[in-house]
Amino acid sequence: MRSSLKLTKLGWIALTCFVLSLFAFIYLSPFIRSFVASFMTWEQASRYPPEWIPDPFTLENYMKLFKLELFPRWIFNTALYAGLIVAGNIMFSSMAGYAFARLKFPGRDALFSALLALLMIPIFVTLVPNYIIIYRLGLIDNIAGLALLSLANVPSTFLMRQYFLSLPQEVFDAARIDGCGPIKTFFYICLPLAKPALGAVAVYQFLGAWNAFLGPLVFLRTPENFTLPVGLSFAFQRSMWTEYTPIIAGSLVAAAPTIVLFIALNKYLIKGIVIQAGKG
């Protein structure tokens, strides 16, 4: 009886491992394919059925990439864009989250519900109005102008609000009795305690900004101001065809910081998910 139970349990574990491995392979296969293709010639990479071993093995795609004059500039632009967005979100989303979680003001909950409702509006709907605003501000083709649109966003605000709600009320009461108004409480108590949530916001926003394509494509015009994803697409797109293998190589190079970041900070990403799943 006992051994049959043990066998059933082992069977379930084996099945779980198989299913998880299958899904992991399915999710990883485009990345593996990209990695392999980045060492192939375009002729081999475009063959059907797909081939998985580079023959001949070539570094030509990477050479083309690093020969691009604007490649370092695009990396700098992307870093600047991501940096501005991370800084903006840490500052504004944490302040907004604090206000929604801990301050009492008329219409607070209605305003927060309205903010959440924004999540249901597709980005394409706001693209044109945003373009007009940025155009009127004279910030088209400007990294700062593009970043301005994303300095605060709803998911980050929501995450910070949830985190501040999870902190014990007594700490806030103690701070108030000890002489802190709302602003001092934010800077002396909330921000230092919010490091895990701020870490999660930073990682999410960095990943989003580093990989952003649509925004930079619409709002940036001159190649010098492009971010990496747009720059790569621009560099290897010809009038009749596109050189995909250098783009693939470029995408892998571009993905490197995000992969490193994910490995180093994935606890913050998980923390972020846990916080958002917390009490409302």
Partner 1 sequence: MARVFLENVVKKFGKVVAVNHVTLEVKDKEFMVLLGPSGCGKSTTLRLIAGLETPDEGKIWIGDRLVNEIDPTKRNVAMVFQSYALYPHMTVYRNIEFPLKMARVPKEERRRKVIEVAKFLGIEDLLNRYPKQLSGGQQQRVALARAIVREPEVFLLDEPLSNLDAKLRVKMRFELRRLLHDELQITTIYVTHDQVEAMTMADKIAVMNAGKIMQVGSPIDVFEKPANIFVAGFIGVPPMSFFEGTLIEKQKSLFLDLGSVLFRIPKTYYSALHPHVGSEIVMGIRPQDIKVTLEPQEDSYEGKIVGYEPLGTETYIHFTINGTKEYIAVIPRGMRISLKRKVYWKSNPQKLYFFRKSTGEAIY
Binding track over 30-69 against partner 1, x by CB under 8 A: ----------------------------------------
> Which DSSP helix (H) or strand (E) runs through 5?
helix 2-37
Token pair, residue 141, equals 């083709």
Closer residue to partner 1 in complex, CB, 18/187:
187
- Nearest-approach distance from CB 270 to partner 1, in angstroms: 21
Q: Tell me whether residue 238 or residue 279 sits nearer to partner 1 (CB atom).
A: 279
Residues binding partner 1: number (CB under 8 A): 17
Cα 143 to Cα 164: distance, rounded to the nearest angstrom: 31
Cα–chain center distance at 144: 18
Q: Which stretch binds partner 1 (CB under 8 A): 26-34, 39-47, 112-120, 169-177?
A: 169-177
- Cβ atoms of 212 and 153 within 8 Å: the answer is no
Site for partner 1 in 261-280 (CB under 8 A): none
- In angstroms, what CA-CA distances link 257 with 17, 210, 213, 234, 264? 29, 9, 17, 21, 10
Contact 39, 57 (CB under 8 A): yes
Minimum CB distance to partner 1 smaller for 148 or for 275: 275
Q: Which of 49, 123, 170, 239 binds partner 1 (CB under 8 A)?
A: 170
| Binding segment toward partner 1, per CB under 8 A, in 21-29, 151-159, 166-174, 212-220 | 166-174
Token pair listed for 74: 């695009």
Q: Cβ closer to partner 1: 69 or 109? A: 109
- State yes or no: residue 174 binds partner 1 (CB under 8 A): yes
Residues 178-207 that bind partner 1 (CB under 8 A): 178-181, 184, 188-189, 192-193
Enter the tokens of residue 191: 């921000």
CB of 192 to partner 1, least distance (A): 4
Q: What count of Cα atoms within 13 Å lies in the side-chain half-sphere of residue 74? A: 30
**From the list 117, 173, 256, 260, which residue makes contact with partner 1 (rule: CB under 8 A)?**
173
For 57: left if phi > 0, alpha if psi spans -120 to 50, otherwise beta; the answer is beta
**From CA 269, how far away is CA 272, in angstroms rounded?**
5
| 8 Å CB contact between 137 and 70 | no
CB of 185 to partner 1, least distance (A): 10
Nearer to partner 1, 51 or 178 (CB): 178
| Shortest distance in whole angstroms from residue 170 CB to partner 1 | 4
Cα separation, 248 vs 177, whole angstroms: 58
106: contact with partner 1 by CB under 8 A: no
The reply to whether 102 sits near partner 1 by the rule CB under 8 A is no
- For residue 71, how many other CB atoms are within 10 A of its CB? 18
Binding site for partner 1 (CB under 8 A): 168, 170-171, 173-181, 184, 188-189, 192-193
